[in-house]
Amino acid sequence: MDLMDNTIMLGGPVKMHPRVLRAMSVPARAHRDPDFIEILKETKEFLQYVFQSKQDVTLLFGSGTASMDAAVSNIVKKGDKMLAIHNGKFSQRFHEIGNTYAEADELAVEWGKAPDIDAVAEKLETGKYRAVSICMNESSTGLTNPVKEVGKLVRKHDAIYIVDGITAVGGLDIKPEEIGADIVLLGSQKCVAGPAGLSAVSVSERYKERMYTDTVYYLNLKKHLDKMMQKNDTPFTSAIPLVQGFHEALKMVKEEGIENRIKRTRNMAEATRAAVDALNLELFPDRKYASDTLSAINYPEGIADKDFRGILKEKHGVVIAGGQEHIKGKIFRIGHMGQVRMVELLGTFGAIEAALRQLGYRNFTPGAGVAAIEEYM
Amino acid sequence: MDLMDNTIMLGGPVKMHPRVLRAMSVPARAHRDPDFIEILKETKEFLQYVFQSKQDVTLLFGSGTASMDAAVSNIVKKGDKMLAIHNGKFSQRFHEIGNTYAEADELAVEWGKAPDIDAVAEKLETGKYRAVSICMNESSTGLTNPVKEVGKLVRKHDAIYIVDGITAVGGLDIKPEEIGADIVLLGSQKCVAGPAGLSAVSVSERYKERMYTDTVYYLNLKKHLDKMMQKNDTPFTSAIPLVQGFHEALKMVKEEGIENRIKRTRNMAEATRAAVDALNLELFPDRKYASDTLSAINYPEGIADKDFRGILKEKHGVVIAGGQEHIKGKIFRIGHMGQVRMVELLGTFGAIEAALRQLGYRNFTPGAGVAAIEEYM
């Protein structure tokens, strides 16, 4: 495997455009220099554009998990109750974070299934939750949750609605105001196709009114929001090269147009699902809720994850993801968000076909997966 | 001013070597790829080398302030008492952080002066402090604190000794074990001359035994230390490009040799102080405690900060820092850590001489500052 030149088809980090790479290698500059403040100002505006929202936004200097921590730790504290609706590895994390800072209850849903709306309603009626969390797009299972329906219930109970949009914002057509979200999270290395290491949030007026201002320090949202919205600045030192790369990646979304980016992501997903069908494979999640940014696919019987992904990576230079936790070895996952092109998806499925055949799975006409993708081009 | 080509002489971010810039612009890779794990493993070893310590280390994915937050929030919680010894902007921050997570007391010392050891002893006797914080090198005032003397007292009272080494580690000869520090912090964009956005800590066995494991989530030290020390990995997604750049910067310290890097930093500082004398200027801090990584210099009467630094930047492309908080306008600060070369210091002082003369300060022989530096070459 050649680290400098391969086909990255993960659920993030995703491929970065050469413009993004170049933006990161600019010589050092002062983080409060007017030129850098201008970059932060544009980044703020691009973020609102990508969130498709008029709400306040801010960058956070940490990965998606930092934004999950901030979303929770600024709104609940010991004595408060929170509900984590979870059906995958990432939404589960909210339960842990909730229990770190407050008392978290959980609504555990089978992985790959959407939560039952009645079960959510019932759970919400049992307790006075100050906040409720959900993951918009569970990249561990390739499932997009019905965040709008759940949102209506959360709003009815007047709780703060925390929506992890880390692998969704910039790739799915889900607007914070339309789903009633109070805080939506974004990861820099996902649909926007920037470098790993940054996250961002879009927050409602309700969230701002209710948030605590002194529960945490580095991830204090009030400080970040005030600095960003009022001064195009950050309370602490920026991760300068990452901001430069992320700014360029956001600019590329703007140039493409957010509607076009979302449509292209959907096309990639539909092409992927057509290829999956043509190879007589099955999606892991309930198809009705299949994600447009990442596809999780069940292994056919007898195909070992290690062998399959090993061949893809070592022999063909194609990097895809496996399953996590209890579905490790049972599924493989293909990211098709951001800057990934249809040509790369074609190449990936060609390599998948070859690897499956090599490992003895031949329940498909050679070339059928690739041909299904060609239909979309 | 040309952002792409100037002389950065700040207390961080500092100039990055072209090798560091190049390392950041490598195409995307998976953060759990064996090749990246190897980079993390070397980073861990380089960190122990630069900390000059055998203690456990870990990276943190956030700026220096993230490491300050982590150092405090993992060792004190509501009900615990902490003491913040402060004599500058950065050590003051510990007082704020301490009050966010616990109850913090303060020993406020005049900026530019070292704390009186008897006053520290007296303070320590008034309360049962679980932790005591200090800043090794106050870059807001150009002062290096007597951390070893204070450390003896802190150890005598069996408190955890938190030492901010953000602008010191990799530039000053201060070893964690020798000063009795329980946690020492490092900033990526300071003496190591890496990109802004990362920090690291070196922690003692005592700290590990006493630290809380469930007070915070994203900045949880137990999770970070366990992953890094046992698996060369990180609990959450790495800021991949920053790690690549920081790894290269650390490698360059190893290649130079930490003793040589520290010696070179001291030479730069002595050359700077000789130039300051030759220009009949004065250091802001007590000379006995003058920092070797950054010099803070009083403005001569009648020189306005805005004009002086404006000329340096716009006309000569030299970026230095001003004063902060109540000493804003009273001092200017020159960073001389990391990869900054003597030739750049020469150029900087040439520009300083020209700017001072332009603004009417002529109490020196033209060329005297530069000549004083030449003595060192």
pLDDT at B127: 78
Which residues neighbour A220 within 8 Å (Cβ) at sequence distance 6 or greater? A74, A213, A214, A235
Judge contact between B115 and B157, C-beta under 8 A. no
**Six token digits for residue A37:** 């403040």
Which member of B30, B63, B187 has the closest CB to residue A61?
A: B63
Place of tokens 């698996």: B231
Of residues B218, B186, B210, B214, the one with CA closest to residue B200: B186
Phi, psi angles (nearest 5°) of residue A322: -100, -165
Judge contact between A330 and A184, C-beta under 8 A. no
Chain B: closest CA distance from residue A71 (Å)? 12
Residues of A in contact with B30 (CB under 8 A): 8, 10, 13, 319
Whether pTM exceeds 0.95: yes
Put simply, the answer to whether B10 touches A27 (Cβ < 8 Å) is no
| Mutation site, A9, A63, A314, interface B, largest B CB count within 10 A | A63
Radius of gyration from C-alpha coordinates of chain B: 21
**pLDDT at A3 exceeding the cut of 90:** no
Residues of A in contact with B247 (CB under 8 A): none
pLDDT at B198: 98
> pLDDT averaged over chain B?
96
Question: 3-class DSSP state for residue B209?
Answer: helix
> pLDDT averaged over chain A?
96
> In angstroms, rounded to a whole number, what is the distance separating the alpha carbons of residues A351 and A7?
11
**Structural domains in chain A, sorted by start:** 7-13+258-374 (3.90.1150.10), 18-255 (3.40.640.10)
Q: How much is the average pLDDT of A204-212?
A: 98
Which member of A97, A196, A319 has the closest CB to residue B238?
A: A196
E runs forming strands in A313-366: 318-319, 321-322, 331-335
**pLDDT at B1 exceeding the cut of 60:** no
Q: How much is the average pLDDT of A223-247?
A: 97
Beta bridge partners of B295: B334
pLDDT at B142: 98
**pLDDT at B2 exceeding the cut of 70:** no
Judge contact between A185 and A51, C-beta under 8 A. no
**pLDDT at B261 exceeding the cut of 80:** yes
Put simply, the answer to whether B26 touches A3 (Cβ < 8 Å) is yes
Give the ipTM: 0.96
E runs forming strands in chain B: 7-8, 56-60, 81-86, 103-108, 131-135, 137-138, 143-144, 160-164, 183-187, 199-203, 294-298, 318-319, 321-322, 331-335
Model confidence band, residue A27 (pLDDT cutoffs 50, 70, 90)? confident
Question: 3-class DSSP state for residue A39?
Answer: helix
> In angstroms, rounded to a whole number, what is the distance separating the alpha carbons of residues A235 and A228?
8
Chain A: closest CA distance from residue B284 (Å)? 22
Place of tokens 């190897």: B38
Amino acid at the residue B132: V
Cα→Cα distances B108→A235, B64, B105, B146, B205, Å: 23, 21, 10, 15, 29
Residue of chain B whose Cα is closest to the Cα of A310? B33
Helices A221-231 & A34-51 angle (0-180, nearest 10): 110
Residues of B in contact with A319 (CB under 8 A): 30, 33
